Amino acid sequence: MLLVIDVGNTNIVLGVLEGDELIESWRITTTSKRTSDEFGMLVYSMIEHKGLKLEDIEHVIISSVVPDIMYSLTNGIRKYFDIEPLIVGPGIKTGVNIKTDNPREVGSDRIVNVVAAYHIYGGPAIAIDFGTATTYDIINEKGEFIAGITSPGIRISADALWQKAAKLPNIAIKKPDSIMAKNTITSMQAGLVYGYIGQVEYIVNKIKEEMNNPNIKVIATGGLAKIIEAETEVIDIYEPLLTLKGLQIIYEKNK
């Protein structure tokens, strides 16, 4: 079995795959304060709790945008699983050519997402990841990562409102029944959700315009993708496991 680990700024998502089948997945909070023993025991206990055996895990691949935790995480995997994890980074085979000004600046999570989008759905495609930041990554029909757009995530936008405006509360992110809000909470929810829908639609349509291609596939993933994709027709596919599938594809190219 293959253990895939996606380290994001807010959460770490883990999955165990056997062949193409996802057996189990977990989500834990990202923190740099865990030791290698804490990481090792945490991952070990989650796998054991689901009735899987430690010896069933034969390989591990990690993508991370948080360098500070990598020493503890990778050593925890080595210590408790006796496996040298494959790390997504420079020199690893992905099957994707990065055609940006500085390829080393492109986050590994973004590379993993376009790998999955291209491998599963073909190109050209736009992979939108609704995470801490919202990223729009574009891969063309030749498998080249040609551009990426980054905007503040929905939660960051919500946090900025209540932290910077003394009278505004911290709210749950959800779509109100109507954009015609009649109280503070639904007013904030309407601005965040409907405003974000507008952002997604404008950016996607602008990409299609500049590429002179109205038929580019748009794949959405990430924790808050489901709220947005249900409200717009510009998203063609909602794939919550896009990053985990991308990690599996990259592992197969490098094993």
The pLDDT tens digits of the residues spanning 194-232 come to 999 999 999 999 999 999 999 999 999 987 898 899 899
Tell me whether residue 55 is in a domain. Answer: yes
| Catalytically active residues, by annotation | 109
Tell me whether residue 116 is in a domain. Answer: no
* Percent of the residues in the chain that have a pLDDT greater than 70, as a whole number: 100
Cβ-contact 100, 147 below 8 angstroms:
yes
Tell me whether residue 27 is in a domain. Answer: yes
* Residue 159 phi, psi dihedral angles, 5° rounding: -65, -40
DSSP-based three-state secondary structure for 250? helix
**Are residue 130 and residue 75 in the same domain, yes or no?**
no
**Interval 59-65 mean pLDDT:** 94
Residues spanned by the domain of 82? 2-87
**Are residue 74 and residue 19 in the same domain, yes or no?**
yes
pLDDT confidence tier of residue 172, bands split at 50, 70 and 90? confident
Which CATH number fits the domain that encloses residue 162? 3.30.420.40
| Dihedral angle computed from the Cα positions of residues 56, 58, 62 and 67, in that order, rounded to the nearest 10 degrees | 100
Residue type, 210: E
